[in-house]
Amino acid sequence: MTTLLAFAFVLGVLIFVHELGHFLMARRIGVRVLKFSLGFGPRVFGFTRGDTEYCVSAIPLGGYVKMAGETPDDPRTGRPDEFLSKTKWQRFQVLIMGPAMNLILAVVVTAGVLMTGAEIPSFQSKAPVVGKVVPGSAAEQGGILTGDRIVSVAGRDVDTWEQFLIAAGTRANRETAIVVLRDGKELSLTVTPTPQTKYEVGDVGVMPDVHPHVVAVVPGSPAEKAGLKPADVILAVDGAVITFPRELIDVISKKADVPVTLAISRNGATQDVSVTPELSGGNGRIGINIGEDTVMIKPGPLDAVGMSLQRNYDASKLIFRTVGQLVTRETSTRQLMGPLAIAQLSGESAQAGWIPLFALMASISLNLGLLNLLPIPVLDGGHIFIMAVEGLFRRDFSMRVKEKMFLAGFAVLLMLMVTVIYNDLTRISLFEKLMPWR
d(CA 87, CA 156): 43
Q: How many other C-beta atoms are found inside a 10 Å radius of the C-beta of residue 236?
A: 19
Secondary structure (3-state) at 176:
strand
3-class secondary-structure state, position 397: coil
Cα–Cα distance measured from residue 370 to residue 99, given in angstroms and rounded to the nearest whole number: 7
Measured CA to CA in angstroms, residue 405 lies from 374, 383, 386, 400, 412 at distances of: 14, 10, 9, 9, 11
Asked whether the beta carbons of 48 and 54 are under 8 A apart, the reply is yes
* H helices, E strands: number in the chain: 12, 20
CA–CA distance, 401 with 397 (Å, rounded to integer): 6
Catalytic residue numbers?
19
Backbone angles phi, psi at 182, to 5 degrees: -135, 120
The dihedral built from the CA positions of residue 91, 95, 96 and 97, taken in this order, carries a sign that is: positive
